Amino acid sequence: MTYLQAIVIALVQGVTELFPVSSLGHSVIVPAWIGGSWQTLVTQSSQPNSESSFYLAFIVALHCATALALLWFFRDDWVRIVRGFLRSLAPSPRARRLVAGDADERLAWLIVLATIPVGVTGLAFEHVFRTVFAKPEAAAILLFVNGLILLAGERARRAQPQAALPPLAGGGATATRTRRGGRTELDLAEARSSDVRISRLSFKDGVLVGSCQIAALLAGISRSGVTMVGGLWRGLSHEDAARFAFLLATPVILAAGVLKLPTLPGSAGADIHGQVVVGCVVTATAAYLSVRFLVRWFRTRTLTPFAIYCLVVGAVSAVHFSRL
């Protein structure tokens, strides 16, 4: 793998992991479109004996970089959520604490419960999904399907009544002048209000939304996209659905990366350590800028532009690869 390949693939990964257009699908389709040695990267990683694939090891490292970027961007929020989780474990005279707990406690348990289905499925079937479906033709078709899913999510949202929003805590003109890591105090207040709204989901609905991530094991189906659609389906706004999707993605992406990371020091990662370092820096930067952009985008905009992109690119790619 050349440094040019490492930078291009890392940039694609950092952007498409959070944009609802499928990073795994693009990591298959983009090299296949370029062809030559680029396409060989994808071909050898989808073979049945590809556990030692250096391309797979590289993608795993990029996933860890993406998760770290998400953790950094939402660090204030994760501090609140983790504290809420720890409070829920402490002895308390309150009965049925998970039901009666505050918003941070409920959100923490929503994330825990919603992560279980995709975690179990990923451990059991990740190799099958990768070797069977991580091929350019399949990824192109599934990217088109992803576009249809996003459009279906928009239709479902229009059928849902608009939820009343609680007032912001700490908002106001002066709050916008204080910045903490690229987020204003007003941003943090809006995040807290969003968490209150998300925490109103039932645990059943939270598990349903989290289970949507299982579809993202298929190259071409976007994790953030299908999770957002699940949130819209259960009545969340675009802003809240996007936030819940990003929070749910963080432990899943990080866990998947950490489990596969031991392959890097072995034969799979031999001779690409420099490329891995450069790629991780590029991916983390791109992911941070992407989530910062998307959090603002979904306050007032929808999934429709991304759906159109997936339909066009998926259809054109499917025709192109079918002729090869």
HEC sequence for the chain: CCHHHHHHHHHHHHHHCCCCCCHHHHHHHHHHHHCCHHHHHHHHHCCCCHHHCHHHHHHHHHHHHHHHHHHHHCHHHHHHHHHHHHHHHCCCCCCCHHHHCCHHHHHHHHHHHHHHHHHHHHHHHHHHHHHHHCCHHHHHHHHHHHHHHHHHHHHHHHCCCCCCCCCCCCCCHHHHHCEECCEEHHHHHHHHHHHHHHCCCCHHHHHHHHHHHHHHHCCCCCHHHHHHHHHHHCCCCHHHHHHHHHHHHHHHHHHHHHHHHHHCCCHHHCCCHHHHHHHHHHHHHHHHHHHHHHHHHHHHCCCHHHHHHHHHHHHHHHHHHHCC
Distance of CA 220 to the CA centre of its chain: 13
Query: What integer pLDDT is reported at residue 187 of this predicted model?
Result: 80
CA separation for the pair 214, 210 (Å, rounded): 8
Low-confidence ranges of the chain (pLDDT < 50): 95-96, 98-100, 163-177
Query: What integer pLDDT is reported at residue 166 of this predicted model?
Result: 46
How many C-beta atoms surround the C-beta of residue 313 within 10 A? 20
User: pTM value?
Assistant: 0.86
**HSE value, Cβ hemisphere, 13 Å, CA-based, for 94:** 11
CA separation for the pair 263, 242 (Å, rounded): 32
> Looking at this protein, which amino acid is placed at residue 252?
V
**HSE value, Cβ hemisphere, 13 Å, CA-based, for 208:** 13
How many C-beta atoms surround the C-beta of residue 281 within 10 A? 14
Query: What integer pLDDT is reported at residue 128 of this predicted model?
Result: 66
CA separation for the pair 211, 126 (Å, rounded): 15
Query: What integer pLDDT is reported at residue 44 of this predicted model?
Result: 64
Per DSSP, what are the bridge partners of residue 183? 180
End-to-end CA distance of the chain: 24
Please, which residues have CB within 8 angstroms of residue 244's CB and are 6 or more apart in sequence? 198, 209, 227, 231, 236
Please check whether residue 107 is in contact with residue 191, taking contact to mean a CB–CB distance below 8 angstroms: no
